[in-house]
Chain A
Amino acid sequence: VPLVLDGWFYEDEWSGELRVRRYDIRANRLDDALACTWRDVTPELNERQALEDRVLQQATISRLSRFVLGGAAEQQILDEAVRAVAEALHVELAKYLELSSRQDTFVLRAAVGWPKGLVGTATIPAGGHRSYAGYVISEGHPVSVQDMSTETRFTPTPLLVERGVASGLSVVVYGDHGTLGVLGGHSRTERHFTEDEADFLQTIANVVSAGVLRRRGEEEVAARTTELANSNKELEAFSYSVSHDLRAPLRAIHGFSKILLEDYAECLDDEGRRVLGIICANTEKMGQLIDDILAFSRLGRHDLQSSMVDMDGLVRSVADELMELEQGREVRIHIEPLPEAFGDLALLRQVWANLVSNALKFTAPKPRADITIDCDERAEDILYRIRDNGAGFDMRYVETLFGVFRRLHGHEFPGTGIGLAIVKRIITRHGGTVGAEGRENEGACFTFTLPHPPQGDDS
């Protein structure tokens, strides 16, 4: 008996009912008659379709996730999301409605199947839950609509009616606090949405939410960084001009006080001369303070002039110069050989000058100053160390050491309190870090790191 008809599909649409059944019809010749078998293959086909859909949904989710992780902008994420929804749900229309910050309006942010001109401009009111999107938010879970024309839970807005939308599936896109918007897929022909499809859409919405929040977070950080950089610049410009303007009157006060002291000393009594001496000393101190502020503010304003620096020679020359000023004290400075560094010679000189003079200053009360300078060539950077046996400090205050005008010690040691702030700023600009350890009356150890010199640069 020959098999003569193979793989016929029969769709059976009973009036009004959208029940499509598919049959595999086979007719075999049986003498002068036909034996017809109609095998119902609807469940198999449905199962296969469901499986294919599931695979497509998974692929869509992972593609969108990769897109988000790849650093796509917020609008790109939304465009890709609605495209993905339309494709994976097999619908002609998909859209993302963003809830305004005042929560009173939805804006059409991204769409497939709507005219381009409407995207970014079309709005619908969000008050209450009269609209589909509003109803989805009030429900808080996926809402599927099979027949928009008989819907009673809400009134479809013109945005849906004008596109002839018959069915839809929508979910909430949640933010950190509350709702970002509503994501939906819509069909012009009536159709049913499955639980699987609702789960899929919610997953897409969650990916969108994560992506949008991530982008917004990054933007906020970038904006704050710019703001901070700007205010830093302003502050530097301000301190520079103020310091600059302070110098002229100060020079006048200092100059005229000096004249008084030198030319009119005999007109004053001892107390008068003592007071005048205090004025002179203080104007000198203030002059130093202003110079330091100027130096500090200049640090942020000029580019580094980096080259290979003979650190060993630099430290020895700085130490020699400073030792010249320390006559009459017993000072022992021990300097271990130091490797070459890469940086701005003038600024690195400033670093060593500040650190060595600090060490000399704080060892002054000791009968013998012991200062050791060495370094540690580590895998990731070079660590420089300067240790002394001076006044030291309480580790509780280590955080404040490198701040501007922070002085741990009172007036028993001279200084403006800006030296370590300058060190920190210079080292930070070189890409290094600073550190300090100390014990009261037992000494201090200051460290800083510099990156290794760039490879292959023998200059």
Chain B
Amino acid sequence: MLDPFAIIAPVRDAEGHIADFEYAYANTAMAENVHLDCEALIGRRLLEVRPAHRSSGLFEMYCHTLDSGGATGPRRLVL
């Protein structure tokens, strides 16, 4: 099976801050990880589907990556 893959697009608030991400594309493997079909996952919000992205810090890392770039070393987090 393919590795889970998804393209997520930012959902920004009035001030331009990233409030959440939206699944623009997800393959079957990514969808199965959250027990959904691909069609059901596409269009859903990241923090709704996987709220732990915020508590784990992964959401922040995503925002940082998109807005300012820059690499981050290996980290361990639990979702």
- Chain A residues close to B by CB (< 8 Å): 2-13, 23, 25, 27, 29-30, 32-40
CA of A4 to CA of B62, assembled, Å: 9
Known: A29-B66, A34-B62, A38-B4. A13 touches B78 (CB 8 A): yes
Q: How far is the CA of A32 from the CA of B69 in the complex (A)?
A: 12
A362 and B46 alpha carbons, distance in the complex (Å): 115
Cβ A9 vs Cβ B77 within 8 A: yes
B3 contact from A4, A12, A37, Cβ within 8 A: A37
Contact with A along B55-79 (1 / 0, CB 8 A): 0001001100110011111111111
B20-58 vs A, CB cutoff 8 Å, 1 = contact: the mask equals: 010010000110010000000000000000000000001
Contact of B73 among A6, A10, A29 (CB under 8 A): A6
Residues of A within 8 A of B61 (CB): 5, 8, 27
Q: Which residue of A lies closest to B29 (CB)?
A: A38
Top 9 A-B pairs ranked by shortest CB distance? A7-B74, A38-B4, A4-B65, A33-B9, A9-B76, A39-B3, A11-B78, A36-B6, A35-B7
Q: Are B70 and A8 interface neighbours, CB within 8 A?
A: no
**Once the chains bind, are A30 and B71 in contact (CB under 8 Å)?**
no
- Taken together as a complex, chains A and B put the C-alpha atoms of A272 and B15 apart, in Å, by 149
Find chain A residues with CB under 8 A from B29 CB.
38
The docked-state distance in angstroms from the alpha carbon of A29 to that of B63 is 10
New contact pairs (19) apart from A4-B70, A5-B65, A38-B5, CB-CB < 8 Å: A5-B72, A7-B74, A8-B74, A9-B77, A10-B58, A10-B77, A11-B78, A12-B33, A12-B79, A13-B78, A29-B69, A32-B9, A32-B66, A33-B10, A35-B6, A36-B5, A38-B4, A38-B30, A38-B33
What is the interface size of chain B, counting residues whose CB is below 8 A from a CB of the partner?
Answer: 29
A residues near B76, Cβ cutoff 8 Å: 8-9, 11
Task: Find out whether the CB atom of B66 lies under 8 angstroms from the CB atom of A34.
Answer: yes
Q: What is the distance, in angstroms, from A122's C-beta to the closest C-beta of chain B? A: 39
How far apart sit A430 and B2, CA to CA, in the bound complex (Å)?
Answer: 84
Cβ distance A432 to chain B, nearest Cβ, rounded Å: 75
Rounded to whole angstroms, the CA-CA distance of A343 and B54 in the bound complex is 93
Which chain A residues lie closer than 8 Å to B5 at the CB level? 35-38
Query: Smallest distance from the beta carbon of B60 to chain A beta carbons, Å?
Result: 11
Contacts of A23 in B (CB 8 A): 4
One of A5, A25, A32, A38 near B10 (C-beta < 8 A): A32
Q: A2-B69, A5-B71, A40-B3 are in contact. Are A34 and B77 (CB under 8 A)?
A: no
In the complex, the answer to whether A10 meets B3 with C-beta atoms within 8 Å is no
On whether the beta carbons of B71 and A37 are closer than 8 Å, the reply is: no
Task: Indicate if the CB atoms of A36 and B3 lie closer than 8 Å.
Answer: no
User: Complex formed: what's the CA distance from A25 to B62 in Å?
Assistant: 11
Chain B positions within 8 Å of A, measured between CB atoms, are 3-10, 21, 24, 29-30, 33, 58, 61-62, 65-66, 69-79
Cβ of B77: which chain A residues have Cβ within 8 Å of it?
A: 8-11
Contacts of A3 in B (CB 8 A): 71
Residues of B within 8 A of A40 (CB): 3-4
Tell me, in angstroms, the Cα distance from A218 to B6 when the chains sit together.
70
Residues of B within 8 Å of A39, CB to CB, are 3
Q: Which residues of B contact A13 (CB under 8 A)?
A: 78
Q: Which one of A4, A9, A38 lies within 8 Å of B71 (CB-CB)?
A: A4
* A38 and B3 within 8 A (CB): yes
B58 to chain A, nearest CB (A): 7
Complex CA gap A425/B41 in Å reads 99
Smallest beta-carbon distance B11→chain A, Å: 11
Q: Which residue of B lies closest to A23 (CB)?
A: B4
In the docked arrangement, what's the CA distance between A40 and B24, Å?
A: 22
CB distance from A49 to the nearest CB of B (A): 15
With A4-B69, A5-B61, A27-B62 as contacts: A33 and B7 at CB distance below 8 Å: yes
Across the interface, which residues of B come within 8 angstroms of A29, CB to CB? 65-66, 69
Give complex CA distance A8, B72 in Å.
9
Chain A residues closer than 8 Å to B10, beta-carbon distance: 32-33
Least CB separation from B3: chain A residue: A39
| Complex alpha-carbon distance, A33 and B63, angstroms | 10
Nearest B residue to A41 via CB reads B3
With a CB–CB cut-off of 8 A, which chain A residues contact B79?
Answer: 10-12
CA of A37 to CA of B58, assembled, Å: 13
Tell me the smallest distance from the CB of A22 to a CB of chain B, in Å: 9
B contact residues around A9 at 8 Å (CB): 74-77
